[in-house]
């Protein structure tokens, strides 16, 4: 059996899962999405992701024509029909079909798409030896243009940053805001450790408040007894950090050992980072909404 895609209440073969060329998600990036993970038959932090999805939709005046409970059941049903215990879930809500103009009120009904498949952003070797990343010139969208808190389908800003990183043969790109403060990477939040303290940029600097980010901050306090601070910091603070790592649904927790050709710490994943990777992986296999009962 081939992969099934949930589209507007129906399960459709992957080869036949299509949207209209008049869908405003395609034409204008008018829509929102979430990336979610399932581990060992459990969907990790599903309600947190769905609540953020609905917040993003409300922020752009997009009404999702399902309750959060109905959407939760649809996610579970899509995993079940594909018999996936370990999966990446992409949940997409578009404005729906309209005309070639911008007016969202001319769109008929939002499109709801759920894709469940495998994902591997980085080879396992990078979790052991660490990433080499760079700061790029593409700046993060500011709150007075498009709020980074909205997880929208318009990711061109992040894609341009990713292109810069690839041109530098780096695995990820650090994006600064208009004032020169560190925000996040193209698809991950960033953390540094200095003298045993865990630091990460505050949400107001222009970041998406990641689900994995929040989880790791709690783990650092509860399991490692670390002091965790949300503070503004610059490239200087990254270069002089003892450790650095990234977090995200796809990336999970992954170490960084070089930034802009500066070696971080001793050039190897740090002890706190290694412990957080271990604690996070234990959590993902023990918590979550059960798929197969």
Active-site residue 151, yes or no?
yes
| For the chain, counts of helices (H) and of strands (E) | 8, 16
Q: Which residues lie closer than 8 Å to 275 by C-beta, 6 or more apart?
A: 223, 224
- Buried b / exposed e across 179-218, counting CB within 10 Å, b at 16+? eebbbbbbbbbbbbbbeeebbbbebebbbbebbbbebbbe
Q: Which residues lie closer than 8 Å to 34 by C-beta, 6 or more apart?
A: 49, 50, 52, 53, 89, 90, 91, 151
* CA 92/CA 234 separation, integer angstroms: 34
Q: Is 142 exposed, middle or buried (0-12, 13-18, 19+ CB in 10 A)?
A: middle
Q: Which residues lie closer than 8 Å to 163 by C-beta, 6 or more apart?
A: none
* CA 15/CA 45 separation, integer angstroms: 30
Q: Which residues lie closer than 8 Å to 162 by C-beta, 6 or more apart?
A: 173, 186
Candidates 18, 83, 118, 151; catalytic one: 151
- How far CA 137 is from CA of 165, 176, 178, 212, in Å, comes to 10, 8, 10, 26
Hey, which residues does 189 pair with through a beta bridge?
247
Could you list the active site residues? 151
């Amino acid at each position: 059996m081939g992969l099934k895609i949930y589209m507007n209440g129906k399960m459709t073969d992957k080869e036949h899962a299509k949207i209209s060329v008049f869908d405003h998600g395609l034409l204008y990036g008018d829509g929102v999405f979430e990336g979610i993970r399932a581990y060992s038959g459990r969907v990790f932090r599903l309600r947190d992701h769905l609540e953020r999805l609905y917040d993003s939709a409300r922020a752009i005046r997009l009404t999702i024509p399902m309750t959060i409970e109905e959407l939760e059941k649809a996610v579970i049903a899509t995993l079940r029909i594909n018999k996936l215990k370990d999966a990446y879930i992409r949940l997409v809500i578009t404005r729906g079909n309209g005309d070639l103009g911008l007016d969202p009120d001319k769109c008929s009904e939002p499109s709801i798409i759920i894709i469940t498949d495998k994902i591997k952003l980085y080879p396992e070797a990078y979790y052991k030896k660490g990433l080499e990343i760079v700061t790029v010139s593409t700046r993060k969208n500011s709150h007075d243009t498009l709020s980074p808190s909205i997880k929208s389908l318009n990711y061109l800003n992040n894609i341009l940053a990713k292109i810069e990183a690839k041109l530098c043969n780096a695995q990820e790109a650090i994006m600064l805001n208009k004032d020169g403060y560190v925000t996040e990477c193209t698809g991950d939040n960033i953390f540094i450790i200095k003298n045993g303290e865990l630091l990460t940029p505050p949400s107001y600097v222009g970041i998406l408040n990641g689900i994995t980010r929040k989880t790791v901050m709690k783990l650092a306090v509860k399991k490692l007894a670390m002091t965790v601070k949300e503070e503004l910091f610059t490239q200087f603070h990254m270069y002089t950090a003892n450790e650095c790592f990234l977090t995200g649904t796809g990336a999970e927790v992954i170490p960084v050992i070089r930034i802009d050709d500066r070696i971080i710490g001793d050039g190897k994943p740090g002890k706190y980072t290694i412990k957080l990777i271990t604690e996070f992986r234990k959590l993902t296999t023990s918590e979550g909404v059960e798929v197969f009962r």
